[in-house]
Amino acid sequence: MRKRGLLGRLGWRVSHMIKDLVIGHHRRSDVVLFSDTTLRDGEQMPGATLEPGDKLRIALALEAAGVHSLDAGFPASSRADIEAIQQMIGVIKKPVLTALCRTVRGDIDAADEALTGNPPHKRGVSLFCGTSPLHREHKLQKSKAEIVRLVAESVAYAAERFLIVAFSPEDASRTERDFLCEVYREAIDAGATTVGFPDTVGILTPAKARDFIRHVQDHVPNINRALVAVHFHNDLGLAVANTLECIKEGANVVQCTVNGIGERAGNAALEEVAMALTLHEDEFGRPAKIDTTKLAPLCRLVAELTGIGLTPNKPVGGANIFATEAGIHQDGLLKNPDTYLPYRPEQVGADGVRLVIGRHSGRRAVAHRLDELGVILDDDGVLAVLEAIKRLPKDRAIDDDTLRELARTVVDDKVTG
Toward Mn ion, which CB reaches closer, 41 or 271?
41
**Helix (H), strand (E) at residue 405:** helix 400-416
Toward Mn ion, which CB reaches closer, 251 or 333?
251
Toward Mn ion, which CB reaches closer, 41 or 54?
41
Toward Mn ion, which CB reaches closer, 212 or 322?
212
φ, ψ of residue 124 to 5 degrees: the values are: -155, 170
For strand 33-36 and strand 69-73, is the pairing parallel, antiparallel, or unpaired? parallel
Please give the residue whose beta carbon sits closest to Mn ion in the complex: 41
Are the C-beta atoms of residues 381 and 366 closer than 8 Å to each other?
Answer: no
* CA atoms 281, 195, 121, 42: torsion sign: negative
Toward Mn ion, which CB reaches closer, 41 or 325?
41
Q: How far is the CB of 257 from Mn ion (least distance, A)?
A: 9
Toward Mn ion, which CB reaches closer, 41 or 245?
41
Q: How far is the CB of 300 from Mn ion (least distance, A)?
A: 24
Give me the half-sphere count of Cα atoms (radius 13 Å) on the Cβ side of residue 38: 30
Are the C-beta atoms of residues 176 and 147 closer than 8 Å to each other?
Answer: no
Toward Mn ion, which CB reaches closer, 152 or 270?
270
**Helix (H), strand (E) at residue 123:** strand 123-130
Q: If phi over 0 gives left and psi between -120 and 50 gives alpha, with beta otherwise, what is residue 192?
A: beta
Toward Mn ion, which CB reaches closer, 36 or 41?
41
Q: How far is the CB of 26 from Mn ion (least distance, A)?
A: 22
Q: How far is the CB of 145 from Mn ion (least distance, A)?
A: 26
Q: How many residues does the chain have?
A: 417
- Cα–Cα distance, 54 to 50 (Å, whole number): 6
Q: How far is the CB of 231 from Mn ion (least distance, A)?
A: 6
Are the C-beta atoms of residues 347 and 292 closer than 8 Å to each other?
Answer: yes
Work out the end-to-end distance of the chain between its first and last CA atoms, rounded to an integer number of angstroms: 95
Q: How far is the CB of 232 from Mn ion (least distance, A)?
A: 9
Q: How far is the CB of 200 from Mn ion (least distance, A)?
A: 6
Quick one: CA torsion of 218, 221, 222, 226, rounded to 10 degrees? Answer: -20
Q: How far is the CB of 333 from Mn ion (least distance, A)?
A: 38
DSSP assignment, residue 43? T
* Inter-CA distances, 5 with 10, 15, 220, Å: 9, 15, 35
Residues that bind Mn ion (CB under 5 A): 41
Please name which of 341, 381, 334, 389 lies closest in space to residue 361, comparing C-alpha atoms: 389
